[in-house]
Amino acid sequence: MAARTLTMVKALNESLRKAMEDDPKVLVMGEDVGRLGGVFRVTDGLQKDFGEDRVTDTPLAESGIVGTAIGLALRGYRPVAEIQFDGFVFPAANQIITQLAKMHARSLGKVRLPVVVRMPYGGGIGAIEHHSESPEAYFAHTAGLRVVTPSNAADAYWMLQQSIRSADPVIFLEPKRRYWERADVDVDEMPLPLHQARVARAGTDLTLLAYGPMVRLCLDAAEAAREDGRDLEVVDLRSISPIDFDTIQASVRKTRRLVVVHEAPVFLGPGSEIAARITERCFYHLESPVLRVGGYHSPYPSSRLEEEYLPTIDRVLDTVDRAFAF
């Protein structure tokens, strides 16, 4: 099949459809995923084609959704559980952190839980309270979970299938502000490994490292910086746990400067770990400290103020200027 231009929503929908066609043990479950097709229509049409036994509308109970998925995985199924919005995941945190992440180690390797927990995350859509969180650091800090996030439709298509095939539990974060952006998806191409970062834009003067919703912002910032004569490299992290430090290190050794950008608060966010590790690995190559751009250490604000909270191109470029000022 030739490459097709798809939105991220459509790419995720087709990825789920392909996984369910390939493996009858793949199940989809969550609030409104069946008849409605999901709030963002990611599961549109799946219940009609695969039936209510494989695409199940659940009660409004996130702990129950994840707990049921764990039980199904113990019986040999591969459940894909949807958390309707990022801020709704916290009632299920106990199931995810104390059961889903730990069962493999607790059983001395005898039990695997191939569960995918999908959730839209991040801001930028003017949503109400509890609909624009960035909880990735909680799960990346939890040993036993894989945490990944696509930034475009092509990665969404492949990474979701790779996550479903994984023997380990995967937190699959979908950047909701990018749901309607289009990209070419070639279902015959060979995808990158699930946890490998990619260079989204080659450059020589500084590395912008981002993931999920911030990759597009950093690509736009790099284009704006070109007008000032600066050639910025953009690296899409793709996986937040584990992290592909080798790709980051190779980029930083070339550019000698690094700015990490994410929507999550800077305080103890994923950028903190990346800054520490790259400083250790590239100490003699860095010409400035590793700098970070992210959300503030405060509750997510109302929709009218989210543009003051979220990273912008201007904030990224101001931080780039700081990196060159050392």
Residue positions annotated with a catalytic role: 131
- How much of the chain is in helix, strand and coil states, percent to nearest 5? 40, 20, 40
CB atoms within 10 A of CB 30: 26
Ranges assigned E (strand) in 190-257 = 198-201, 206-210, 232-236, 239-241
- Closest of 309, 323, 246, 308 to residue 277, by C-alpha: 246
Rounded CA gap, 227 and 266, in Å?
Answer: 28
Determine the 3-state secondary structure of 280 from DSSP: helix
- Closest of 114, 128, 115, 45 to residue 86, by C-alpha: 128
Cis peptide before 59 (omega within 30 of 0): no
β-bridge mates for residue 171, sequence order:
117, 147
Question: Look-up: residue for tokens 């990018």?
Answer: 178
Say how far residue 97 (Cα) sits from the centre of its chain: 18
CB atoms within 10 A of CB 70: 19
HSE at residue 305, side-chain half, CA atoms within 13 A, is 9
Say how far residue 283 (Cα) sits from the centre of its chain: 28
Rounded CA gap, 147 and 141, in Å?
Answer: 10
Rounded CA gap, 138 and 118, in Å?
Answer: 15
Q: Please report, for the chain, how many H helices and E strands are present, in that order.
A: 12, 14
DSSP 310: S
